[in-house]
Structures are given as C-alpha cells and as structure tokens.
Amino acid sequence: MSTVTYQALTEKQKREVRMYGVTEAGMRESVESSITFRFSGPAMMAASLMSDAQEMINTEYGDIDYMRAEDARQILNRAKWILFEYVMKDGE
C-alpha cells in the first residue's frame, strides 16, 4: 500500500492495516471469495492461516527478521478475526 493511499484512510482503517495488513472490508471480501471458505468453512480457513504463520516463524528457514515476525503476527490476527467474525458469532 502506498503512503498516499495509507494517508487517505480513516484512523480506524489505518489501525486495521497495522493489525491485519489490510482493512476489515478488504479482508471480508478476500475471505468470502475464498474457495477454502466456501467449501471447507471459516474454521478451516483460520487453521490454514495459522499453519502459514507457523511456517513463517520456523527457524529452519533462517533467522526470523522483523518483517517475517510482523507478517506472521498479522496472519495470526487475520485468523483470529475470522474465528471471531464467522465462527464464534454463530455459536453465541
């Protein structure tokens, strides 16, 4: 995301980008258009994201620098968001 695009976002959207790497609206669009989401459900999509984050912090692939750690953190936040938005709301 360019600096100009980021600066045009609302404070809420900027917070979302810092947490998830994307706005919630963008994430919802991505999640709901995903084949995994449609055929396997939101819990499986969250589990898949957590597996991706786990691989990113695997030291077998070298030292974990700031960017790799930040990417893994954002992926975990996306997985939690999916669980809270699609799994836990259904079970309330």
pLDDT, tens digit, for every residue of 46-82? 999 999 999 999 999 889 999 999 999 999 999 999 9
Range 22-32 average pLDDT: 96
Phi then psi dihedrals of residue 16, to 5 deg: -60, -45
Which candidate, 33, 20, 6, places its Cα nearest to that of 80?
Answer: 20
- Quote the domain boundaries for residue 41: 3-91
pLDDT at position 92 over 90 = no
Q: Which tokens in the block code for residue 40?
A: 């396997």
pTM for this predicted structure? 0.88
Number of domains composing the chain? 1
